[in-house]
Amino acid sequence: MEKTLLDLFSNSTRFAETDLIIRLFKVANGRIPLQYDQSYYIMDNGLAMGANHSPDVANLYCAEHEKNYNVIHHEWLLCFKRYIDDLFTVVIADNETDASNRLQQLRYPNLDLNWEILETRVVFLDMNVMFDTVEHMFRISLYRKSLNQFQRVPATSAHPNYMKKGVIIGEAARLATISSELDIYETALHQLREEYCRLSYNWEWIDHALNTTVRGKLWDKRDCKKSKEFNDSVVFKTWLDPIWDHVSFEEVMETARTFINEHNLVRKDKRYERFLELKMVASKSRPSNFGDLLNTSNKTIVRTLSQ
């Protein structure tokens, strides 16, 4: 793993603190404490579950071998997808034994892979993937774990209504991305409405948030990698404070355009020409807390050590 990090950072001019990164990696993974019952132990292999850096390290390790050591290049492998340590594959095989033997060829050094081989249905992350043997196509829908508590922002929360509406639309957008067909998407949206109704949300209010136009746009845009609206906007960062509700960002943007035109800034810098075409949108962050203060302190320590 150390070699992987060295190769990644040493050839990039973006990372001046390569030695520091390696040192921090050794400290974070060298002696990992583990509690079992009332006793403490030191892990001698693997990464600490729950540590902030563990997903990144796992991704770096697997990506290095997938890229440089032909781990996933096989003619019988129709599809290979990985999310951190979860793998999904579609394999050409005569039977389950044949599939198992072929999957044994997918190896990462020092890692043991446990495969669940199924012919027509498998769960991958939050997706229920089914293969229709009649139509010979995959159908994908949302998978919910049996212990899912469906914890969401209740209707009685003090969050502003536009934030509650945004949360619902965000979930609907996720459902559109997961669903392979429109009828599957509509069924998932109906279940979403029922879940929010159980949290005392008004059914009419939910229907207004997820009206036909919104649902249609979410379905049509499900394959888009980046929203055009976001590309054509300049983001003004604000906080969850009622004072910002009284600010007209259209007037702010118009004032900026007037200033640019009056001072002929486009002639001095062509980037202002693009700025004149943008519209301003506001992002609202939560107020700062002690966790933010700790993060700032940690950044200061890292910056000091790197000097």
Q: Are residues 165 and 136 in the same domain?
A: no
Q: Are residues 203 and 179 in the same domain?
A: yes
Report how many domains make up the chain: 4
Q: Are residues 38 and 6 in the same domain?
A: yes
Q: Are 78 and 91 in contact (CB under 8 A)?
A: yes
pLDDT for 15 equals 53
Phi, psi of 168 (to 5 degrees): -65, -45
Does residue 125 sit within a domain?
yes
pLDDT one-digit tens code per residue, 55-86: 888 888 888 888 776 777 888 888 888 888 88
Does residue 302 sit within a domain?
no
Burial tier of 179 (Cβ tally within 10 Å: 0-12, 13-18, 19+): buried
Does residue 298 sit within a domain?
no
Whether the CA torsion 154, 159, 162, 167 is positive or negative: it is negative
Measuring CA to CA, which residue among 218, 151, 213 is closest to residue 185? Answer: 218
pLDDT for 152 equals 86
Q: Are residues 207 and 261 in the same domain?
A: no
Helix residue ranges, H only, 11-69: 18-30, 54-68
pLDDT for 56 equals 83
Does residue 303 sit within a domain?
no
Helix residue ranges, H only, 121-211: 161-178, 182-197, 203-209
Does residue 300 sit within a domain?
no
Q: Are residues 138 and 95 in the same domain?
A: yes
Does residue 294 sit within a domain?
no
- For 84, the domain range is 73-103+111-142
Does residue 151 sit within a domain?
no
Q: Residue 45: beta bridge partners? A: none
Q: Which residues of the chain have pLDDT under 50?
A: 229-230
Long-range contacts of 1-4 (CB under 8 A, 24+ apart): 1/25, 1/29, 1/57, 1/60, 1/61, 2/26, 4/60, 4/61, 4/64
Inter-helix orientation angle 290-306/18-30, to 10°: 120
Q: pTM of this prediction?
A: 0.67
Does residue 39 sit within a domain?
yes
The structure tokens 């096989």 sit at: 74
In what helix (H) or strand (E) does residue 279 lie, and over which residues does it extend? strand 279-285
Q: Are residues 242 and 211 in the same domain?
A: no
Measuring CA to CA, which residue among 163, 124, 165, 127 is closest to residue 143? Answer: 127
Residue ending a domain, choose from 189, 220, 251 = 220
